[in-house]
Amino acid sequence: MKKSPSERTRHVVAWMNKAEWDEVLDFLFSKDPQLQKHALHRISAWKVRFGHGTPVAVESTADLVRCQVLDRSGRLESDELVLLYGMALVRFVNLITERKQKGVARPLRRLASNLKIPEWIVNLRHELTHQRLPTLKSCREGCRFVLDWLLQEYWSRQLGSRLADDWDSQSEEEVDDEEWARRGEEELLARQKEIESHKKARELLVSYEREQRQVRLLEVLAEMLVQDGFLIPTQEQLEFLDIDPSENFDPMAPCLPRVYLRLWQPLLKSLNFSFIHLLLEKLFAELAAKPGSHQGFYISAWIAEILLCNSTSSKARKTRMKDRIFTNRFPLRWQQLLTACTNAPCIATPYLLQLLLEDMDKPLPPDTQRKLLRLCSIYTQGGCHDDDEDSLTDPDPAQPIYTVQSLKDGLLKGNTHSALRSPNHCCPPLAPPTQDLQEQLSAEALEERNFALHGSPWQVCTDKVNWKLYPLGQAPGQSGSPSCLMLENYSTLTIFDQQVELDKAPHISNPNRSASDGLLWSHADLSKLKSGLKLF
């Protein structure tokens, strides 16, 4: 009597939960012998619980893995290993195909073909049983293939706790060949796709992790190289290498000493192009923090050296043929480098900017290059360096660049020429106007202003005070609080007590005034208003 479908989907298993099953599966097919031994111990415990109902696939897998563990231990001879592998392979073929035998015996090769077992495995079993023993290499190859077959046909089918009916113990009722074939054809493609997707996902994650690890390591290496004592030499290192820092020292066109460059050549030549670009970005970031120091000179010198090695100019390539860090030109992210260069202004920025503009794959328009270099020269108080007279980036002599210092020099020169053109040119030239000149007031002007302030607590200041240091409305020594404007001693008086000069002109009435002009203030009303007002 056959079991109902609901009864056939229920199984009593020997493992505690799915986590234990997944752990044994991972350990069995790992490369670590210790993990494989742990999995074999767990399967031995399962066999105690199962008894004769242990699935033949689990038992065959354990036998084959045990052979691999003993093989890797190195404690057995080759003949002994052949016998172990042979016993495991023979038991696998016999146990797997025995379940398909019915009342009438059928050929073993046909049964194996229905189970997708290749013929050479059946031949290997035949040699182990009836003929001369095969080589150890053939046994190892057969063991690896059978383990892969068990992984795909049995272990992978248990995902999602879907136990295979046809892999249970021999005591359970076997399914018919037609049912197995139909189910296998439906699930074979799905299993293969699932396994391939898992492999691809794992490979992708491993590749991404390796890439991220490499990027982090390159960033750490670049940050370390731009520190003092590495690419940036210290005074002790320069003295040890017998390098004079003042020799050929041009901060506007920095250049590395050849001795120090050759010291770092072997390391820099072994690095890839992506790291060189990362190193350039780190150097520009470090230059922004140390623009005008000893470190800033060597940072800008390293940047110029890398850009010149990557330059397409035949002159630059010929002069640095022996000391080149790399020989092949590689593309750079020019927009990022231009931004990093302008964000790290120093005296060498015009020179570095010119190297970037000349070497770009897609150069900017000539007029844009010229304007950018001029703005950079004005900001850094420097000049453009270019040996080529026909270069588009050379400044136009007819349009000089005016800086603060040039304006001061021009003002001083103009005062000197005006003094020489005067009749009394023997007298010394006038000093340039300074910022401490004060307004010279005559006696009449002082008297006029004091008269205007008569009766007021304010008076004209005759001291020499640099009024540009004080904002409008604030006097020297005055605090920012508005309460300082209040007088210390003051008294109040009414409007009637205030001395005013009355208009002596005769009062002329207008006979043409009409009543439509509105009510007029009477003397009584004005007296009431004045009595309520008070002055300080």
- Read out DSSP for 386-420? -S-TT-TTSPPTTSPPP-HHHHHHHHHHHHHHHHH
What angle is formed at CA 419 by the lines to CA 415 and CA 423, rounded to 5 degrees? 160
Could you write out the three-class secondary structure of 339-359? HHHHCCCCCCHHHHHHHHHHH
Is 154 found in the same domain as 297? no
Residue 526 lies in a domain: no
Task: Indicate if the pLDDT at residue 524 is higher than 80.
Answer: no
Residues in the chain: 536
CA distance linking residue 420 with residue 244, whole number of Å: 47
Is 260 found in the same domain as 168? no
Q: How does pLDDT run across 394-443, given as a tens digit for each residue?
A: 444 444 555 666 666 777 776 665 555 544 444 444 444 444 433 455 67
Is 250 found in the same domain as 166? no
CA distance linking residue 533 with residue 82, whole number of Å: 126
Residue 17 lies in a domain: yes
Query: Of residues 331 and 38, which shows the higher confidence score?
Result: 38
Is 257 found in the same domain as 141? no
Task: Indicate if the pLDDT at residue 273 is higher than 80.
Answer: no
Q: Which two tokens stand for residue 137?
A: 């290499």
Residue 497 lies in a domain: no
Concatenate the DSSP letters of all residues of 96-159 into one string: HHHTT--SS---HHHHHHHTT--HHHHHHHHHHHHS----HHHHHHHHHHHHHHHHHHTGGGGG
Task: Show which of 328, 346, 380 is a domain's final residue.
Answer: 380
Residue 484 lies in a domain: no
Residue 260 lies in a domain: yes
Is 154 found in the same domain as 23? yes
CA distance linking residue 136 with residue 253, whole number of Å: 71
Task: Show which of 130, 159, 175 is a domain's final residue.
Answer: 175
Q: Are 354 and 384 in contact (CB under 8 A)?
A: yes
Q: How does pLDDT run across 192-203, given as a tens digit for each residue?
A: 888 888 888 888
pLDDT of residue 1: 44
Residue 342 lies in a domain: yes
Is 374 found in the same domain as 257? yes
Task: Indicate if the pLDDT at residue 518 is higher than 80.
Answer: no
Concatenate the DSSP letters of all residues of 33-99 into one string: HHHHHHHHHHHHHHHHHHGGG--HHHHHHHHHHHHHHHHHHT-S-HHHHHHHHHHHHHHHHHHHHHT
Q: Are 283 and 297 in contact (CB under 8 A)?
A: no
Is 123 found in the same domain as 50? yes
Task: Indicate if the pLDDT at residue 356 is higher than 80.
Answer: yes
Is 273 found in the same domain as 131? no
Task: Show which of 126, 145, 175 is a domain's final residue.
Answer: 175
Residue 525 lies in a domain: no
What is the span of the domain harbouring residue 54?
A: 10-175
Is 261 found in the same domain as 150? no
Contacts of the segment 382-386: beta carbons below 8 A, 24+ positions apart: 382/252, 382/347, 382/348, 382/349, 382/350, 383/252, 383/350, 384/350, 384/351, 384/354, 385/252, 385/253, 385/350, 385/351, 385/354, 386/354
Is 16 found in the same domain as 110? yes
Say how many domains are in the chain: 2
- Residue 264 neighbours by CB distance under 10 Å: 16
Residue 183 lies in a domain: no
- Residue 532: pLDDT band (50, 70, 90) is low
Q: How does pLDDT run across 298-326, given as a tens digit for each residue?
A: 888 888 888 888 777 655 555 555 667 76
Q: State the average pLDDT for the chain.
A: 74
Query: E strand or H helix at 307, and its extent?
Result: helix 294-309
Q: How does pLDDT run across 70-80, given as a tens digit for each residue?
A: 988 888 898 88
pLDDT of residue 365: 86
Is 159 found in the same domain as 32? yes
Average confidence (pLDDT) over 68-89: 88
Query: Of residues 5 and 204, which shows the higher confidence score?
Result: 204
Is 157 found in the same domain as 19? yes
pLDDT of residue 66: 92
- Residue 390 neighbours by CB distance under 10 Å: 6
